[in-house]
Amino acid sequence: MPNALRRIGLAAAATMLVTVLPACGDSDTDATGTDPAATGSDQKITVYSGRNEELMEPLFEQFTAATGITVETRYAGTAAMAAQLLEEGDRSPADVFLAQDAGALGAVAKAGLFAPLPAEVTDPVPAEFRSSAGEWVGVTGRVRVLAYNPELVAEADLPSSVSDLTAAQWKGKVGVAPTNASFQAFVTAMVVAQGEEKAREFLTGLAANEPQIRDGNGAIMEDVEAGRIAAGLVNHYYLGEIAKERGVAPDEINLKLHYFPGGDLGSLVNVAGVGVLKPAADDPDVREFVDYLLSVEGQTYFAEQTYEYPVIDGAPAPAYAPALDALTVPPVDLNDLDDLESTIALIQGSGLVP
Amino acid sequence: MRRWLPRPVLFVAALLAVTVALLPLAYLAVRTADAGTDRISQILFTERVARLALRSLGLATVVTAACLVLGIGSAFLVTRTDLPGRRIFGVLAALPLAIPTYVAGFAWVSQLPGFEGFWAAALVLILASYPYVYLPVAAALVAADPAQEEVAQSMGRGPWRTFAGVTLRQIRPAAAGGGLLVALYVLSDFGAVAVLRTDTLTRAVFVSLELGFDRIGAVVLAGLLVAMTIPILAGEAATRRRGVRYARLTGVRRPAARILLRRWRMPALLVLTAVAAAALGVTTVSLARRLAAGVSRPGAWSEVAAAAGASISLSLAGVALTMLLALPIGLLTARAPGPAATLVDRLGYLTHALPGVVVGLSLVFFGINVAYPLYQTTWLLALGYAALFLPLAVAAVNGAAVAAPPVLDDVARSLGRGPLTVARTVTLPLMLPGIGAGAALVFLTCMKELPATLLLRPTGVDTLATELWTHTTVAAYAAAAPYAALLVVVSAVPTWLLVVGTGVLAKEGAR
């Protein structure tokens, strides 16, 4: 009975006629709906989100309920989103870029796409969590940690510095995600703080120690929890995400977090943050959105739902993580993390990536 | 003899159509020119790139060879032997098309920890793509005129020697075309190689973009992928002999004699069962386990339904545009074969090995700079699907046009009908099943596509594939599972229709 295919053929032919022809006429309505030159409030903003829909959508719904402003969101990885913004240039329909690390925000800022944020927006955020030129501002803090399986690693054997992971006793035991932006930011920080030679030495040593390469932090966490890897370099909040998926408290997960002590680079604090695209500089809806992200309400959402650190006073700290000021974090300026070229060359040269 | 359409018109239409498929190449050229020769040679002429290119070619070779064996073998067993349950296997052999490789790869590695590397990726890709060979070969075996085989047998050749000498020759164009699609698919695949951790050229393209948004590096490597498709295309063309057609003009469809498997029945049955279990069972079990293990909320049913609706309507737009563009190319190669037609046809394949993310970026560039009113509308995404999947549609249209012999047009014309009436009453009706098959194949491929969809979809629109991606990147597997399941189920419908179209399910007198 090729009749079915014949019918599909007919339907396809009909669809071609019905859909393609009118499209030539009215296709421009969608695109001009988001007029980049609009300055007055139209109760609508367009956000490019390099952060996950699962994490962000409830917050946006909360914002819409509070303000009546609709959030149109595009979701993709932070790197893909930045690449799309760079390709779009000043014709981008985006009003706001929400990114997972300072490096991506820095790269878009470098291309001259962001409008400087007013001082009253950025001032409540500590200087180390925002761009010095005001082109982007951190929304949450995230700390690099070593996640380890307590059945495979004794507390006494935990390294005091991330550089110790190149030692023989860690051979084949450490999970890393070299394509992940957080890992790159950490390597860039190492270049900034200790020089390129030291960073190269570390990466070569790490690569020679047969690390377990994964695509992202989530995969490392799963394998550490299951005992397939002893330890892995990740960000602190993934523990909360895994616990949420399992429906248990974070301390019931078979996995512990080690915060490198004494300001070691292994415990770099990075941010997720936002930048406003130039055409949207004076849009009051956009301003309200950025204000909301940095309000006590918005910051509480992050602390409770994504287990990240708030960047303003007055919001609670995340449930299972130590207080940020109790940690000694390395003194790295996030503004210096936008130059990724040498980092990429180093990571590629080390053989950690194809 | 006058033809159905004056050829110049058809040629120009085909040329315009293939331009769409070539848009990404224009982008590659622009971006590569920006980079300058120094930067390009710095990227290209390294041991790393040589290693990646060799691994990509190796993977394509291994997977294509295995798909040819598996695809031709299953098609033969299902259509030409007395294998028990052959109608069921006729369907099972096509169903892997409904499963995206990223879902299959994930299923394998979560069932078998440590299942990774070149051979793991090869296995998953073989099981996912052998239907590209199975379907056209099964259709060719059903449609082939048994007269040639009967002649061979009457001259004293046994069934197996007849198969090797006559049947294989008849299905060679179908098998070569399917093999070509497999090879190009493997070159462009990102899902399986990323999940199963094999570093290929395509993965390096993605990693370049991940690592500090290195568009130049990504684009130069993508250009190398395009260059690699040229020898593959030439190889496929060399297996075809010019002017050979196996369309039958006479009489009713008559089934070929079935070969009795005898003591090979059980082994054949076991092999096909094992293949189906590996290709379909692993994914099913893994999805079910993920669904049961997590507690993340699978979202409201309205969200799942909205994503399904968006997937279907975006894919339909992609199908409509792709088929519209494929018609002139398919007709041209069937009705006016020659170097010009071959060139146009082959040009369409050049971008088929490009990773979706590069095609996506190139259409972002095109949309922003050339066709801004289309930017972030359904139609720019449809254009992306057309650029990616045009060859799938052209192959189907071409096959249909060849099976609708021009002599029938000529007869109608000689009876005094005008060219448009002939097209409407004779040519198109004969081609409809082929157009339908192409539409079904393009539809299910659009449903599974992820990277270009992420870049090109209208803002705020979620599809099943993008929702699946969203949930798996935060380890919300239980929330992801319904999207994966629905994606597979919806894609199974066109797959089923493709099987029906081969004719392997047709009722016939048993022998």
- Residues of chain B found within 8 Å of residue A215, distances taken between Cβ atoms: 194-195
Residue-wise pLDDT for A46-73, tens only, equals: 999 999 888 899 999 999 999 999 999 9
* B499 touching chain A per CB within 8 A: no
Higher pLDDT, A88 or A4: A88
In the predicted structure, residue A238 carries a pLDDT above the cut 50: yes
Q: Which of residues 141-200 of A touch B (CB under 8 A)?
A: 179-181, 184
| Overall average pLDDT of the A108-126 stretch | 94
CA-to-CA distance for A207 and A348, rounded, in angstroms? 11
Q: What percent of chain B is modeled with pLDDT above 70?
A: 92
In the predicted structure, residue B95 carries a pLDDT above the cut 80: yes
Q: How far is A74 from chain B (nearest CA, A)?
A: 5
Residues 6+ apart with CB under 8 A from A352: A176, A178, A203, A206, A207, A211, A213
In the predicted structure, residue A81 carries a pLDDT above the cut 60: yes
A139-153, B109-123, B156-170, B449-463: least confidently modelled range: B156-170
Residue-wise pLDDT for A316-351, tens only, equals: 888 888 888 778 888 888 888 877 777 888 998 888
In the predicted structure, residue A260 carries a pLDDT above the cut 70: yes
Contact between chains at A73 and B324 (C-beta distance less than 8 A) = no
Q: Quick one: chain A helix, strand, coil %, rounded to 5?
A: 50, 15, 35
In the predicted structure, residue A1 carries a pLDDT above the cut 60: no
A252-266, B252-266, B356-370, B385-399: least confidently modelled range: B252-266
- Residues of chain B found within 8 Å of residue A348, distances taken between Cβ atoms: 48, 211
| Amino acid, res. B78 | V
Contact between chains at B212 and A79 (C-beta distance less than 8 A) = yes
Q: What percent of chain A is modeled with pLDDT above 90?
A: 59
Say what the pLDDT of residue A16 is.
58
* A291 touching chain B per CB within 8 A: no
For residue A52, give the nearest of B364, B474, B498 by CB distance.
B474
In the predicted structure, residue A205 carries a pLDDT above the cut 80: yes
CA-to-CA distance for B136 and B181, rounded, in angstroms? 11
Say what the pLDDT of residue B358 is.
92
Tell me the average pLDDT of chain A. Answer: 87
A124-133, B220-229, B295-304, B461-470: least confidently modelled range: B295-304
Tell me the average pLDDT of chain B. Answer: 86
Say what the pLDDT of residue A35 is.
45
B197-211, B254-268, B285-299, B340-354: least confidently modelled range: B285-299
Say what the pLDDT of residue B296 is.
66
In the predicted structure, residue B243 carries a pLDDT above the cut 50: no
CA-to-CA distance for B231 and B348, rounded, in angstroms? 15
Q: How far is B13 from chain A (nearest CA, A)?
A: 16
Q: Which of A7-11, B183-187, B284-288 has the highest mean pLDDT?
A: B183-187
As for the ipTM of the complex, it is: 0.80
Q: How far is B454 from chain A (nearest CA, A)?
A: 6
Say what the pLDDT of residue A33 is.
42
Place of tokens 């060719």: B140
Say what the pLDDT of residue B77 is.
93
Q: How confident is the model at residue A15 (pLDDT cuts 50, 70, 90)?
A: low
| Overall average pLDDT of the A78-91 stretch | 88
- Residues of chain B found within 8 Å of residue A221, distances taken between Cβ atoms: 475
Q: How confident is the model at residue B297 (pLDDT cuts 50, 70, 90)?
A: low
Tokens of A106: 């820095």
Say what the pLDDT of residue A122 is.
94
Q: How confident is the model at residue A175 (pLDDT cuts 50, 70, 90)?
A: very high
Q: How far is B239 from chain A (nearest CA, A)?
A: 29
Query: Which of B140, B136, B120 is closest to B63 using CA atoms?
Result: B120
* B197 touching chain A per CB within 8 A: yes
- In sequence order, what E strands does B19-64 have? none
Q: Which of residues 132-191 of B touch A (CB under 8 A)?
A: none
In the predicted structure, residue B500 carries a pLDDT above the cut 70: yes
| End-to-end CA gap in chain B | 44
Say what the pLDDT of residue A214 is.
87
Q: How far is A72 from chain B (nearest CA, A)?
A: 5
Say what the pLDDT of residue A32 is.
40
Which of A5, A100, A241 is best to mutate for the B interface (most B CBs within 10 A)?
Answer: A5
| Overall average pLDDT of the B452-478 stretch | 86
In the predicted structure, residue A36 carries a pLDDT above the cut 60: no
- Residues of chain A found within 8 Å of residue B204, distances taken between Cβ atoms: 354
| Amino acid, res. A278 | K
Do residues B473 and A53 make contact, with C-beta atoms less than 8 angstroms apart?
Answer: no
Task: Please write down the long-range contacts of B283-288, taking CB distance under 8 Å and 24 or more positions apart.
Answer: B283/B99, B283/B103, B283/B104, B283/B107, B283/B488, B285/B107, B285/B111, B286/B106, B286/B107, B286/B108, B286/B110, B286/B111, B287/B103, B287/B107, B287/B481, B287/B484, B287/B485, B287/B488
Q: Which chain B residue shows the shortest CA-CA distance from A218?
A: B475
| Overall average pLDDT of the B197-204 stretch | 91
Say what the pLDDT of residue B450 is.
92
* A2 touching chain B per CB within 8 A: yes
Q: Which of residues 437-456 of B touch A (CB under 8 A)?
A: 437, 439-440, 454-455
- Residues of chain B found within 8 Å of residue A222, distances taken between Cβ atoms: 475
In the predicted structure, residue A29 carries a pLDDT above the cut 70: no
Q: How far is A156 from chain B (nearest CA, A)?
A: 29
Q: Which chain B residue shows the shortest CA-CA distance from A339?
A: B212
Contact between chains at B501 and A28 (C-beta distance less than 8 A) = no
CA-to-CA distance for A245 and A222, rounded, in angstroms? 11
For residue A250, give Cα distances in angstroms to A238, A239, A240, A245: 10, 6, 6, 11
Q: How confident is the model at residue B292 (pLDDT cuts 50, 70, 90)?
A: confident
Q: Which residues pair with A138 in a beta bridge?
A: A273
CA-to-CA distance for A147 and A143, rounded, in angstroms? 12
What is the 8-class DSSP label of residue A260? Answer: P
